[in-house]
Amino acid sequence: MNEQRLRMPVEGMTCESCNRHVERALAASGARDVHADYRNGEAVFTVDRGTAVAPLAQGVAAVGYRPGTVEVLSDGPAGAPAEAPVDVRLPAPQRPRVAKGADDGYDLAIIGSGSAAFAAAIKARDAGARVVMVERGTLGGTCVNTGCVPSKALLRAAEAYWQTQHHRFAGFQAQVGPVDLRKLVAQKRELVDALRKEKYQDLIGVYGWEVRQGTATFADATTLHVDGATLQANAYLIATGASAAVPPIPGLAEAGYLTSTTALQLEAVPDSLAVIGANAIGLELGQLYRHLGSRVTLFEVLPRIAPFEEPEIGETLAEALQEEGMEVVPAAQIRRVGGGAEDKKQIVATVGGCERTWEVAEILVATGRRPNTKDLGLERAGIETDRRGAIVVDETLRTTNLRVWAAGDVTPAPQFVYVAAYEGALAAENSLNGADRRVDLRAVPRVTFTSPQIAAVGLTEAQAREQGHEVKVSVLPLHAVPRALVNRETHGLFKLVADAQTDRLLGAHILADNAGDVIHAATLALKFGLTIADLVGTFAPYLTMAEGLKLAAQTFDKDVAVLSCCAE
């Protein structure tokens, strides 16, 4: 007789669906009469005598399970001696793949491939789920491709170029030549490509999920179409991010404009630049091009730049930017855009009741970002959006379709990459395990990478009062911080908001060099309910910007100007 009946232990099977996946994998690898049993953790099957069993084990491993040592149950006529066990164990995969639900094998289908999507996929794979990710564009999302990484790389370069020429130290001079923006952009692109590979592409193989390239749209409440092909899963996560929002200014489209994406792709520094919108993106990119040599005008429709920060921060930053030669135009109503002389673009705005005109080489639109929900077929899936187009979710990130979750910039959440990652992981856990975890965004820091940097966490003074707190506030000018004096950069401040009854910290707001690093300490203080007295009672390393937190806390009760260095 030329047949053998074999038994293969299989780890990772948990249900009838798992049985079917293993049976199909073995049959596709050449086995016959296959029977898998997740309760016993085994598969029994028939092969021709002499058949190599390693490919059978590889087939099982390929669908996400771990094969063990194959045992020969019968060989030839009944009663014939069985051969010794054949060890076909493969190296353990770096992450197990366990099919837990849908007959087509997917526990979670993720639309998008940015920070929220990858955090969700990693969390799901760690839980043993089978995951498919659908991406219609470039893998990695906004942060690594067109947002945080490329912008901060160029911001650092521009700051170094500016500081070389504008330092405040006596005893030496430095000279630089013109900027070769093409080389800076090429260097930035190399960094982006490397990080996309290391932090995104390579992880797919490490954790073991499937990626489909194509455009996903809901066909109905339980089905996706990906470029015409049908895809179904037990649960779905929408993590499609957001894109630049462009206001309907007459003549803007015809004149042409830059967004936060295309502004990072220029290969020559424009001699002049108008920035419409003076929140984080507009401030960062406006100062970037000022540092590289452009004449920059900042327009903001609200009464001050950095309009969502504390008033003291917006006012002080405006002074610093004006000192660098930038024109700051708050309370500006852009009326129209048109063509000017010598290929310039003309901006007409009403400021202080008067109509004024500016001519510039380029216009950057930085008026916010809009969630990427168009063409997803949300209405066919019963998924509601708000007036901005953001997907409406509950505290667990579940949408109005009970099988669909959403995370990151596509929801109304703060548009930060670390918030997206947090939400992606939380949504995956809730969708797979019914964990019912609630989103907690009470201590989310934010940073604007201008020079000086803006960083904040918690409530502003106005928000604290609106929420019913009786508040007390301290404002410490940066010239009271020794590190700022050493740096000879004193544009800035520390502002702390506390509850007057409990002394508990409610918010911290910083305008200073390295504010983005300092704010983490304030984030911990806010998260764990520390008081002003707790901040005063901590050691603060001398001649660091972080000392400003302690000094600002001391300012509630003392005049730090008449304290010796490091005095309590």
For the segment 90-144, what is each residue's pLDDT rounded down to a tens digit?
Answer: 443 333 333 344 445 799 999 999 999 999 999 999 999 999 999 999 999 999 9
Give the model confidence (pLDDT) of 174-224 as tens digits: 888 999 999 999 999 999 999 999 999 999 999 999 999 999 999 999 999
8 Å CB contact between 370 and 387: no
The whole-angstrom separation of Cα 1 and Cα 78 is 10
Range from 31-45, 174-188, 539-553 carrying the lowest mean pLDDT: 31-45
pTM, rounded to two decimals: 0.81
pLDDT at residue 284 greater than cutoff 80 = yes
CB atoms within 10 A of CB 375: 11
CA angle 55–58–61, rounded 5-degree value = 160
Range from 77-86, 398-407, 462-471 carrying the lowest mean pLDDT: 77-86
Residue 435 neighbours by CB under 8 Å, 6+ apart:
429
pLDDT reported for residue 75: 60
The whole-angstrom separation of Cα 471 and Cα 489 is 30
Phi-psi region of 416 (alpha: psi -120 to 50; beta: other; left: phi over 0): beta
SS3 per-residue string spanning 111-174: ECCCHHHHHHHHHHHHCCCCEEEEECCCCCHHHHHCCHHHHHHHHHHHHHHHHHHHCCCCCCCC
pLDDT at residue 247 greater than cutoff 50 = yes
**Nearest by Cα to 108 from 241, 239, 234:** 234
| Sheet of 446-448, strands arranged across | 446-448, 453-458, 505-512, 493-499, 471-477
pLDDT at residue 262 greater than cutoff 90 = yes
pLDDT at residue 549 greater than cutoff 50 = yes
Mean local confidence (pLDDT), 77-94: 41
Residue 476: both structure tokens together: 């410490």
CA angle 431–416–458, rounded 5-degree value = 100
For 363, the 3-state DSSP assignment is: strand
Question: Measured on CA atoms in the order 238, 243, 249, 254, is the torsion positive or negative?
Answer: negative
Q: Which domains does the chain have, with CATH numbers?
A: 3-75 (3.30.70.100), 108-244+370-433 (3.50.50.60), 252-367 (3.50.50.60), 446-562 (3.30.390.30)
For 348, the 3-state DSSP assignment is: strand
pLDDT reported for residue 94: 39
pLDDT reported for residue 408: 98
Mean local confidence (pLDDT), 35-44: 87
pLDDT reported for residue 17: 65
Distances 180 to 184, 217, 455 between C-alpha atoms, Å: 7, 43, 31
pLDDT reported for residue 104: 56
Band (pLDDT 50/70/90 cuts) for residue 14 is low
**Nearest by Cα to 144 from 185, 111, 114, 183:** 114
pLDDT reported for residue 82: 39
Q: Parallel, antiparallel, or unpaired: how do β-strands 369-371 and 404-406 relate?
A: unpaired
The single-letter code of the amino acid at 433 is N
CB atoms within 10 A of CB 91: 7
| Sheet of 131-135, strands arranged across | 210-213, 131-135, 108-111, 235-238, 404-406
Mean local confidence (pLDDT), 291-301: 98
CB atoms within 10 A of CB 234: 19
The single-letter code of the amino acid at 183 is K
pLDDT reported for residue 154: 97
CB atoms within 10 A of CB 255: 18
Active site residues: 13, 15, 18, 65, 143, 148, 565-566
Report the half-sphere exposure of 143 (CA within 13 A, side-chain side): 22
Give the model confidence (pLDDT) of 397-456 as tens digits: 999 999 999 999 999 999 999 999 999 999 999 999 888 899 999 999 999 999 999 999
pLDDT reported for residue 309: 98
**Bond into 303 cis (ω within 30):** no
pLDDT at residue 390 greater than cutoff 60 = yes
8 Å CB contact between 331 and 300: yes
pLDDT reported for residue 97: 38
Range from 80-94, 338-352, 493-507 carrying the lowest mean pLDDT: 80-94
Instruction: Provide the β-strand partners of residue 135.
Output: 213
Instruction: Provide the β-strand partners of residue 406.
Output: 238
Percentage of the chain exceeding pLDDT 90: 80
Between helix 311-323 and helix 280-292 the angle, nearest 10°, is 20
Residue 541 neighbours by CB under 8 Å, 6+ apart:
547
Distances 159 to 287, 293, 485, 490 between C-alpha atoms, Å: 9, 11, 19, 17
Residue 291 neighbours by CB under 8 Å, 6+ apart:
158, 159, 161, 162, 324, 451
Residue 57: both structure tokens together: 């084990």
CA angle 458–459–464, rounded 5-degree value = 145
**355, containing H or E segment:** strand 354-360
Residue 434 neighbours by CB under 8 Å, 6+ apart:
none
Residue 72: both structure tokens together: 């020969």
Give the model confidence (pLDDT) of 320-336 as tens digits: 999 999 999 999 999 99
**Nearest by Cα to 43 from 5, 78, 99, 75:** 5
Question: Measured on CA atoms in the order 488, 489, 492, 498, is the torsion positive or negative?
Answer: negative
pLDDT reported for residue 61: 82
Give the model confidence (pLDDT) of 487-502 as tens digits: 999 999 999 999 999 9
pLDDT at residue 231 greater than cutoff 90 = yes
Residue 155: both structure tokens together: 């911001």
Average pLDDT, the chain: 92
pLDDT at residue 513 greater than cutoff 60 = yes
Phi, psi of 143, deg, nearest 5: -55, -55
Range from 69-83, 309-323, 405-419 carrying the lowest mean pLDDT: 69-83
Band (pLDDT 50/70/90 cuts) for residue 85 is very low
